[in-house]
A = this chain, B = another copy of it.
Amino acid sequence: MHKWMQIAYNEALSGMNRNDGGPFGAVIVKDGKIIATAHNTVLKSSDPTAHAEVNAIRKASEILGTFDLSGCILYTTCMPCPMCLGAIFWARIQNVYYGANENDAARGGFDDKAFYEMLQNRESALALQQIDHKENAELFTIWNQKSDRKMY
C-alpha cells in the first residue's frame, strides 16, 4: 500500500476498533511531510460532521494557522462524501487520493452514494424552501461595502 494511504488505513482501522466511528481515515501531506492524520469520530463526538476528511482539514488548518490548504495533498481511505468534497473545495486542496468508492461504502451501510444522488436534485431530496430573499440578499451588498472584508 502507498505509504501515506497505509497511515490513513491504520487510522480507519483504529478508529473503528475504538468505536469512534465508521471505517474511514485520512492524512494531509504537504511538501512530503504529514500535517495531520484523522479518522471518523461521528459516534465518539456525536457530531455528524466529524468525518475523517473534515477532521483532518480542521486539524491541518489549526496547525498551519490558515483556512487555505492549497499545496496540501489529501489521502483518504474512501471517496469523499459530498460534505467532505465540499470541505476539500473550500480548503483549496487540489490533489486527493482515495481508496474505496461509494459502492464499497454502501455495502457497509453508508449513504455517500445516496447523498451524491440527492445532491443532483436538492429540491426533491428535502423540503428546501426560500423565504425572505430580499433582506438576505442584501447581506451581500453590506458585505461588498465592508472596507476591511477578507475573502476565503
Contact = CB atoms under 8 A, between A and B. Distances in A.
A140 B100 contact: yes
Given A143-B16, A148-B19, A87 B128 contact: no
A54 B127 CA distance: 18
A115 B89 contact: yes
A78 B151 CA distance: 17
A92 B46 CA distance: 13
B19 A46 contact: no
A61 B101 CA distance: 28
B132 A16 contact: no
A54 to B, nearest CB: 5
Contacts of A107: 140, 144
Classify the secondary structure of A's interface with B.
mixed
Interface residues of A, number: 86
Given A9-B135, A82-B85, A87-B49, A144 B108 contact: yes
A31 to B, nearest CB: 17
Contact of A67 (B47, B87, B96, B132): B47
Contact of A133 (B100, B128, B137): B100
Given A5-B136, A82-B82, A105-B140, 11 more contacts: A9-B132, A42-B67, A43-B67, A43-B150, A48-B90, A49-B58, A77-B139, A78-B139, A81-B86, A107-B144, A109-B144
17 contacts: A5-B131, A16-B139, A21-B152, A22-B143, A23-B139, A46-B62, A46-B66, A48-B67, A81-B90, A85-B122, A89-B115, A89-B118, A97-B129, A97-B131, A98-B128, A98-B136, A101-B137
